[in-house]
Amino acid sequence: MSGIALTAAPPAASDSPGLLRRLAGNRSAALGGVLLALVLGFAVVGPLLWPGDPWEMVAAPMLWPGEDMANPLGTDVMGRDLATGLVSGARVSLLIGLVATLIAATIGTLFGALGGFYGGRTDAVLMRVTELFQTVPTFVLAVVLVAVFRPSVTTAVLAIGIVSWPATARLVRAQFLVLRDREFVLAAETLGMSTPRLILTQILPNALPPVIAMSTLTIAHAIQTEAALSFLGLGDPNVMSWGTIIGGGREQLTEAWYVCGLPGIAIIVTVLAFNLLGEGLNDALNPHLQRR
């Protein structure tokens, strides 16, 4: 029976054929993918079109978009080219979003997996810690963390990662609680599989799909958080991110709305892309849908 159960173990969802096709068939996922491709393209190709230092003061201050084709998207209050700034911002935002999410997913998965697998006292302790983080408003905690350790890209990434993991931990724990008692897990255990191997090769692959979907949403949230931190002046002063541009332009909102508006649109598009993609992934990776 145990042998049968082992072979009957559901394959890891991410390996399953047809994922891309299912994603493409999902309207929101497709739209998200297209938008994300646009943003990625902008970040990759942008430096070729608008090379140079985004901090360099190259033209008259507060040029409107289209006013001078040398600076197609206009300039900010200190005469810095906005197109160059937006390209820099795209790279910074995507980088921070991805790394912060990786940190959140790692911590969250670790907490959730251990708690869900062992249960009992381990679970109780880990979940109380998780709750501790969940009860503090995430943005306030991020502000405090960045302010305490001097604002920089590293502290922003760490702070965002640290405030974003509890949801993942909850999700992974729930998955583990369910999978822990499934036949294929019991079978593997009976066969004498070591605990780490059991967790890593049997349970985790099956618990991951919803985590991937959630992480996509976490990326979107991380990008927003970074922008908000920079807006408040808590971004890395040496790095031009979208939030930096918005923060620098907010005093001129009534005179030159586009300084805040353009990076604002960039943030909306990027966050929307990740949200749609996350939702699409969630549908596509849903184990129930998959088995049918």
Partner 1 sequence: MHRRDLMVGGLGLGLAALPTFEPGTALAQPVTPTRGGVARIVVEEPPILTSAFITTMNIGMVSSKILEGLVSYDLDLKPVPALAESWETSADGLRTTFRLRQNAKWHDGTPFTAADVRFSLLEVWKKLHPFGRAVFANVTEVETPDPYTVTVVLSAPALYLFNYINTYGAQILPRHIYEGTDILKNPANVAPIGTGPFRFKEWQRGSHLVLERNPDYWQAGKPYLDGIIFRFIPDAVARSVALEAGEIDVTIGSLIPVTSLRRFSDRAKYTINTDDGRFLASIFLAQINVRRPHLGDKRVRQALSHAIDRAGLVRLVWQGYGKPATGPIPSSVTQYYHRGNPQAYDPRRAEQLLDEAGLRRGADGKRFRINLVSGSGNSLESGRAGEFIKQAFARIGVDLELIIEDSAAYLRRVYTDGDYDIMTSSLHKLPDPTLGVQRLYWTRNIVRGAPWTNGSGYSNPELDRIMEAAAAEGDLAKRRDLVNRWQEIVQEDAPILDLVELTWTTVSTARFRKERVQGDGMFAGLEDAWLAPR
Q: How far is the CB of 234 from partner 1 (least distance, A)?
A: 8
Smallest distance from the beta carbon of 177 to partner 1, in angstroms? 43
Contact criterion met (CB below 8 Å) for 262 and 82: yes
**HEC profile for 98-117?**
HHHHHHHHHHHHHHHHHHHH
79 binds partner 1 (CB under 8 A): yes
Decide if residue 254 touches partner 1 (CB under 8 A): yes
User: Would you say the C-alpha torsion 172, 173, 177, 180 has a positive or negative sign?
Assistant: positive
Pick from 24, 53, 64, 195: which binds partner 1 (CB under 8 A)?
A: 53
Residue bearing tokens 């979940």: 127
**Which of 21/150 has CB closer to partner 1?**
150
> Stretches 81-89, 133-141, 219-227, 250-258: which one binds partner 1 (CB under 8 A)?
250-258
CB of 233 to partner 1, least distance (A): 5
Give the C-alpha separation, 55 to 107, whole Å.
Answer: 35
Q: Of 229, 221, 265, 207, nearest to 140 (Cα)?
A: 229
Rounded Cα gap, residues 219 and 40, in angstroms? 14
Contact between 144 and partner 1 by CB under 8 A: the answer reads no
Contact between 116 and 180 (Cβ < 8 Å) = yes
**Residue 55 interacts with partner 1 (CB under 8 A): yes or no:** yes
Q: Is 7 in the site for partner 1 (CB under 8 A)?
A: no
**Interface ranges with partner 1 (CB under 8 A):** 53, 55-57, 61-62, 77-79, 147, 150-151, 233-234, 237-238, 248, 250-255
